[in-house]
Amino acid sequence: MGLDLNLLRVLVAVIEEGTLTAAAERLHVTQPSVSHSLRRLRRATHDDLFVKKGRLVQPTRVALELYAQFGDIPRRLDDAFGRAAVFDPSSSDRVFRVGLTDLGEITVLSPLVRQLQQRAPRTGVEVMRVQIDTLEDQLATGQLDVAVASWKPEGRLASIPMRQETYVCIAQRGMFGADGPTVEEVERTPRAQVSPSTGHVTPSYLWESTPPGSATVQSFAAIPPLLASNRMLSVVPSIVAPDWTERWPLESWTLPVELPDVIVYCHVRAGPLQPAQRWFMRQVMEAAHSAWE
């Protein structure tokens, strides 16, 4: 069969997205257009290419063989053309996608949106929640342009250190003495902690065991009400402590132990970036630094 790049793009998108609807959204075409392209591919390959599995479509052996041999061609071509292209932020209408933790949404998103409105007024930004187990694939396939997280995943990513995070201990007001908890109290008191799968490295996980009665949550937003109504403590980035202690009956202290460095990274895919992605990465890093000053 002759290699039709547009048909190959459809094949790759359906395999990577798992549904025709998602593939159509990624390619900025209609779902009937994707279905039409698949019919052409099926006639050319004499194979069904995909079988329905619940809400998803599963590639056949032939589809996977085509993907293994040719699946990187559209991306390589896009990269080549992207490197040669000139990105003009003042006229671009691109929607950038950034992966942020819930804490990143609170601190980084506002200055980032302000910068985009000033420097690239026709662009937009879509925020996706960081999930460490899928972050590399999201960046490699273009689902994300940039991600910010204090967790550095294993794999082929370019991770640029931006900030060394400092942490404090926080708990109910009056729960500990004026100097805060001792090392022994930190080790045995139930903890409210954020799951590391969300992109946060929380020093709570540096202790060998988790005390009975502890709770692991999916966002920092869940921690203040937990602490306010339960005899628990949490180890959190110092940047959130002033707001929490003002709005909730909580107080914070310096940790009684010295912790290993926790670094906040700006993550992008390994290899060449498109000019637009390089520009957006710089905007994210600038917004993050302004938020942390």
pLDDT (tens digit per residue) in 119-154: 999 999 999 988 877 888 888 888 999 999 887 776
Say if residue 58's pLDDT is above 60.
yes
Whether residues 182 and 127 share a domain: the answer is yes
- Among 71, 102, 125, the domain boundary falls at 71
- Among 71, 98, 113, the domain boundary falls at 71
pLDDT band at 1 (very low <50, low <70, confident <90, very high): very low
Does residue 47 lie within any of the structural domains? yes
* Full residue range of the structural domain in which residue 25 is found: 5-71
CA dist., res. 152 & res. 156, Å (int): 11
pLDDT band at 80 (very low <50, low <70, confident <90, very high): low
Whether residues 65 and 97 share a domain: the answer is no
* Of 61, 51, 57, residue with least CA distance to 13: 57
Q: What percent of the chain has pLDDT over 70?
A: 92
pTM score, whole prediction: 0.64
Domain count, the chain: 2
Whether residues 110 and 187 share a domain: the answer is yes
DSSP-derived secondary structure for 163-187: EEE-EEEEEETTSS-TT---HHHHH
Say if residue 182's pLDDT is above 50.
yes
- Encoding tokens for residue 30? 């209609």
Whether residues 127 and 243 share a domain: the answer is yes
Amino acid 52: pLDDT: 87
| Residue 190 CA: distances (Å) to CA of 119, 135, 138, 209, 214 | 47, 30, 35, 11, 4
Whether residues 269 and 176 share a domain: the answer is yes
Say if residue 253's pLDDT is above 50.
yes
